[in-house]
Structure formats: C-alpha cells, structure tokens
Amino acid sequence: MAELATRSKFSNRMAFILAAAASAVGLGNLWRFPYLAAKYGGGTFLLVYLLLVVTFGFSLMVAEIALGRKTGLSAVAAYRAANKKFAWLGWLTAAIPFIITPYYSVIGGWVTKYMVSYATTPAADIAADGYFTGFILSSGPSTYIWFLVFFACVALVVTFGLKSGIERSNKVLMPLLIFLAVAIFIYVMTLDGSGAGLKYYLVPSFENYHNVGDFVQLLIAAMGQMFFSLSLAMGIMITYGSYFEKHENIEKSVRTIEIFDTGIAFLAGLMIIPAIFAVSGDGSAVATHAGPGLMFVVLPQTFATLGVAGRIIGFVFFALVFFAALTSAISLMETCVSIVQDQFKTSRKTALISAFAVVALMGIVVNMGYNVWLGADPMHTIFGTPYQANQILDFLDFMSNTVFMPIAALFTCILVGWVIKPKAIIDEVEEGGVVFKAKGLFSVMIKYVAPIFTAMILVGYILNTFGVIHL
Ligand code: PHE
C-alpha cells in the first residue's frame, strides 16, 4: 500500500492519545452530557451510558482505529478498501462532520461570548433571568459575530497547521479543567438542596420510566451521546488510526481515551446537576433546564453566589470550555477539509476555502433559526411537517446523533463482524506481539450484540416517534 509508506506517524502512543483526547473531550462532555443526564433521569442515564462505553464504545473504537491502521487510509477510502460494497458507508460517515461542525461552532460562539462577558461584566448580570435567551434570541448581529469569532479561531488553526501546538497545551489545560470542575463540585455541594441533585445523578431510579418507549428514548440518547463524545461513527478514529504505528497498543490507548473522556463527562454532570437543584431549591427545575441552555444558565447562577470570585471562576471556567471546544472543532473541521481534498481531488487551498464556506454558511443558517426565522410565529413547515424555527440546532443534532451515527455504527459492525471478520481486526491489534486482552468481548459485541441492539433501538425509536407502534 503506497500510501502507508508515505504517511507521517504519531511520534508515540502519548502523542496519539493526546490528539484523540483533544478530539474527544469537548462540548460533548461539558455541555451535552450533563443536559442529557438531567433530562433522561440522572442515575439511570449515567449507568446505561457507562455500560455502553465499556462494551459498545470500546469495541467500535478498537475497530475504527484498527481499520485505519490496517488500510493506512482515511474514512471514505478505508471503507472502500475494506469492501467495495461498503463505499457508501464512507460517504455517510463523511457527511456527519459537515452536519455537526456548523452547530458545534454556534455553541462554541456562545462559549466565547460567555468567556468574554465574564471579563467585562459582573457575575450577577450574567446570572440574571433571561440573559441567555436574551442573547441567543437577539435580533442584532451579536450572535453571528460570536459564531464567526469562534469559527475564525478554528479556521486559522486548521489553515496554518497549528494543531499540534494547541494540542500540547492540553497537557496543562486538561488537568486545570479537571481541577476546576472538582473545586466547583465541592463548592456546589455546600449549597442547600444540592444533596438531592447528587442523589438524582448517581442513583439509578426506574420510577421515571412509565413505558418501554421512555426507556428506548433513554437508550437512543445514551447511544448517540456515546458516539458523539468519543468521536465515533464518523470516520475520525479511522483517520487517526491510519497515523498510528504498528507496534503500538490499540487496546490500551482506547481504554485510556475512554477513561479520560468519560471521566470528564462524569465530572461535568457532578458539577452541573446538583447545581440545578441548588439554584432552584428542588428538582422541579430539571424539566425546564434540561436542554441545550443548561450549562449557560445554571453555572452562572452558581458563580454569582460567589461574588467577585465568581467572576474570576466564571472567566477561567468558560476559557477552559472554550479551549476544549476549540480542539474538538479543529478535529471536526480538519475532517471536513480532508474529505473535500481526498474525495474531490482538489488542492489543499480549494479544500480549505470550500469547506470553510459550507460550514460557515450552515452555521449562519443555524443561527438564523434563533432570530430572523423566529418571527412572531415560530412554527414553520418543511415538507408539510411543522417545525419550530429555533430548533434547527436541535434538528441537526438529532439527525447526526440519533439517525446517521447509529446507522453508520450499525453498518460498521456488519462490515467488521461479518464481511472482513473480527479476526482481521484482532490480528491487526495483535501486530508486533501485542496481546488483545478483550478480544472475546470484542468479537461478540461487534458481531452480535452491538448490531442487534442498534438495529432494535433505531427501528423501535423511529416507529414509535412516527406513531406506527406504541412502546
Ligand atoms: N467528541 C467531541 C466532543 O465531545 C465532538 C467531536 C465529535 C469532535 C466528532 C470531533 C469529532 O465534544
């Protein structure tokens, strides 16, 4: 394979883990995980999520990295090289970063705005009722500007190849993020009401599930979150694997990335969910807060109780979130650019310009959902189906995580489990005398459990949503 010889490689396992962790740890952990955990019943969601990560997530990440290393190719080409009939799967995975990057950058813009606000505004103002909605729904240029500021940072790093430098600073910033999250958690636990929140988050309770349909919703949410947070089912880990040295231990690397990524998501929940109970006095606020605005509403209210210190903590916190979001957005944007470059055989320059243009335009459209299109009546129709304009972001998030990623994961399992066979991946992991300890788990997961589970959940969810069946 000619391409293999010319690929530059990660200098060592640490460099690989750092790059993969930089991609994995981002808004998925800090912004998305806590609001889903709050929304889908706390402890039950946490338990299901953890189980999924160590079984399904583990197997899929090993498969993707090994597939990339074996073929020496990035996603679209790697799927084609594995089996011609699966080339379409490469295209499906390639579409996913184009759906995610625009809305990811819109939220990156919100984070940037909050970081700068803490530098210029008292913490109490940022905690005021309606600050967040006032901002995202404002009809002026402000939301567009913040989106573009964040996006420009991403574009600059991608254009000038500053990525490795940025990733190296992760060595300092990630521990700082962990330290700050722990400190915020300890502080939140001193506030009245937080104990009930902690219990809600940590203790599984099946009381909230009245029927099978509710539980299927939880399962699909947890599964989509797992793909999103671990950067799976969109070809990224395949590309990373193609840069991974043959003698390095894939299994160990995957475990490290998972512990890191899941640990940070867990911490984010630990800090935010008890805070919902503390700021509202009871758990009733979970229902109203458990949406994309959660982090932007509840944490500022908590910081405001700290006076001047709250302002400093607010700034440092959002700066760290900004950084985590930036490294993930860079990895997403790079994927978009390399897809254009590889698939349309364009120059790097053309690929950069066209990928930036598409993502920037889509980001603007996402943003328009919150103002221009909202108007007096937020209900519009598309193909005869009513939708709420301000939910374009939610819609893209839904399409990528609940529809496309499960489909991509399902067919990756079929490809690996039944076409190229688990043995091919196991041999790849065991190259150079490495022992693949969990190969039994891997084979059973990839062949049977993961595809059957995904297919059932996906079909059940879709039929239930469209009212064909009533679970
Ligand atoms: N995993 C990242 C996060 O949790 C998002 C992401 C997905 C980044 C896919 C790159 C690729 O925020």
Q: pLDDT tens digits, residue range 236-271?
A: 999 889 888 888 999 999 999 999 999 999 999 999
Ligand 1 atom nearest the C-alpha of 331 is 10
Average pLDDT of span 203-229: 89
Mean pLDDT within 133-155: 94
**Structural contact between residues 331 and 22, judged by C-beta atoms closer than 8 angstroms:** yes
* CA nearest neighbour of 37 among 191, 180, 226: 226
**400-418 per-residue burial string, b: 16 or more CB within 10 A, e: under 16:** bbbbbbbbbbbbbbbbbbe
Confirm or reject: Cβ of 229 under 6 Å from ligand 1.
yes
Q: How far is the CA of 228 from the centre of ligand 1 (A)?
A: 6
Nearest C-alpha neighbor of 233 from the set 114, 397, 382, 411: 411
**Does residue 26 have its Cβ closer than 6 Å to ligand 1?**
yes
Give 315's pLDDT tier (boundaries 50, 70, 90).
Answer: very high
Helix boundaries (H) for 415-449: 422-429, 439-444
- 362 secondary structure, DSSP code: H
Please tell me the distance between residue 406's alpha carbon and the centre of ligand 1 in angstroms. 15
Banded model confidence at residue 375, pLDDT cuts 50, 70, 90: low
Atom of ligand 1 nearest to the CA of 325: 12
Cα separation values, 262 from 57, 118, 167, 255, 326, Å: 11, 28, 19, 10, 19
Q: How far apart are CA 221 and CA 49, in angstroms?
A: 9
Range of weakest confidence among 98-112, 282-296, 323-337, 417-431: 282-296
- Could you give the CA distance from residue 148 to residue 127 in angstroms, rounded to a whole number? 24
Ligand 1 centroid, distance to 440 Cα (angstroms)? 28
Strands 385-388 and 379-382: antiparallel
Q: What is the pLDDT of residue 235?
A: 87
Q: Is the pLDDT higher at 216 or at 452?
A: 452
- Mean of the pLDDT values across residues 85-106? 94
CA distance from start to end of the chain: 50
**H or E element in which residue 471 lies:** none
Please work out whether the CB of residue 27 comes within 6 Å of at least one atom of ligand 1.
Answer: yes
DSSP alpha helix (H) spans, 31-74: 33-39, 43-52, 58-71
For residue 96, the ligand 1 atom closest to its alpha carbon is 9
- Residue 278 tokens, joined: 């503390």
Q: Tens digits of per-residue pLDDT, 177-196?
A: 999 999 999 999 999 999 99
Pocket test for ligand 1, best of 49, 103, 257, 331 (most atoms within 8 A of CB): 331
Instruction: Tell me which H or E stretch contains 380.
Output: strand 379-382
Shortest-distance Cα residue to atom 7 of ligand 1:
231
Centroid of ligand 1 to alpha carbon of 353 (angstroms): 22
Paired tokens of 103:
């809305």
261 C-alpha to ligand 1 centroid (Å): 10
Token digits of residue 107: 């939220």
| For the CA of 31, the nearest atom of ligand 1 | 12
> Is any atom of ligand 1 closer than 6 Å to the C-beta of 55?
no
Q: How far is the CA of 385 from the centre of ligand 1 (A)?
A: 30
Choose which residue among 231, 234, 333, 335 to substitute to test ligand 1 binding: the one with the highest number of ligand atoms within 8 A of its C-beta.
231
pTM equals 0.93
The whole-number pLDDT of residue 5 equals 41
For residue range 31-55, what is the model confidence (pLDDT) as tens digits? 999 999 999 999 999 999 999 999 9
Of all atoms in ligand 1, which is nearest to the CA of residue 24?
A: 1
Round the average pLDDT of the chain to a whole number and report it. 90
**Cβ–Cβ < 8 Å for 5, 162:** no
Q: Say whether 381 sits in a helix, a strand or coil.
A: strand
pLDDT at 466: 77
| SS3 state of residue 343 | helix
| CA 227 / ligand 1 centre spacing (Å) | 9
CA distance linking residue 33 with residue 442, whole number of Å: 25
Question: 382: which strand partners?
Answer: 385
Ligand 1 centroid to residue 381 C-alpha, Å: 31
What's the CA-to-centroid distance between 312 and ligand 1, angstroms?
27
pLDDT class for 12, splitting at 50, 70, 90? confident
